[in-house]
Amino acid sequence: MFAMVFIVFIASVCIAETPVATVPKQAFEAKRTYCMTCHGVAAQGFRGVFPIPRLAGQQPQYIKNQLSAFIERRRMNPVMFRVAHVLSPAMVDGLAAYFATLNPKPLGGAPENLVAAGKAIFENGIPSQNVPPCASCHGPQAKGSDQFPRLAGQLNDYIINKLTNWTKERGQDPKKPDTSAIMAPIAHLLTTEQVTEVAAYLSSLE
């Protein structure tokens, strides 16, 4: 019952009529707008020198987990640390739930000739390299679930960057392991070509 009520609150915020929980409407709108300065007008991501991820349609629990990881420096990103550490728990809940309601068309832009190979890896894994199917955690449509993130529609260059540099950014506090530990060996086992193929496939999904 609480989840249903909370969703109603968030839906109201989307049309700027009701504050989120204990967060004043004006404060929420200011922070939402601030997030979209980098993540795009509909949180669809931004392609530039440093690709910024799509948050639209993302699993709320995943967003909350990552914000905590930035704050605790388990995930390294100086910009996001500064953004995350000033957010109240109510603001985090509100933003996470709000982004989950968005579903703009993906930006695309990945090489279309790599999509089929990426789809095969996502659905079947690479048994010869001990790489499991991505779908086993991220779901058959790559929309994620709970703490496992949505990958559908994510910018391909962002995915490439994250997988290539996984252990340099994630799991930086061995005393506080999280779900990022699952991906560490997988990211290491994938070749550069395979990473590019998976990223192309995921960026093509809506």
Give the pLDDT of residue 23. 86
Under CATH, which number does the domain 2-100 receive? Answer: 1.10.760.10
Q: Is the dihedral of CA 26, 58, 185, 157 positive or negative?
A: negative
User: Whole-angstrom Cα distance, residue 77 to residue 85?
Assistant: 12
Look at the pTM and tell me if it is higher than 0.75.
yes
- According to the model, what pLDDT value does residue 20 have? 52
The string of pLDDT tens digits covering residues 21-71 is 578 999 999 999 999 999 999 999 999 888 999 999 999 999 999 999 999
Contacts of residue 62, Cβ cutoff 8 Å, sequence gap at least 6: 144, 146, 147, 148, 149, 150
What is the rounded average pLDDT for all residues in the chain? 90
Q: What is the DSSP string of 85-147?
A: TT--HHHHHHHHHHHHT--PPP---S-GGGHHHHHHHHHH-BGGGTBPPTHHHH-TTS--BTT
User: Where in the chain is CATH 1.10.760.10?
Assistant: 2-100, 112-204
Question: What architecture does CATH give domain 112-204?
Answer: Orthogonal Bundle (1.10)
Question: Which run of H or of E encompasses 199?
Answer: helix 192-204
What does each of the 206 residues of the chain score in pLDDT, given as a tens digit? 333 333 333 333 343 333 455 789 999 999 999 999 999 999 999 998 889 999 999 999 999 999 999 999 999 999 999 999 999 999 999 999 999 999 999 999 999 999 999 999 999 999 999 999 999 999 999 999 999 999 999 999 999 999 999 999 999 998 888 888 999 999 999 999 999 999 999 999 99
Angle at 149 between CA 65 and CA 179, to 5 degrees: 55
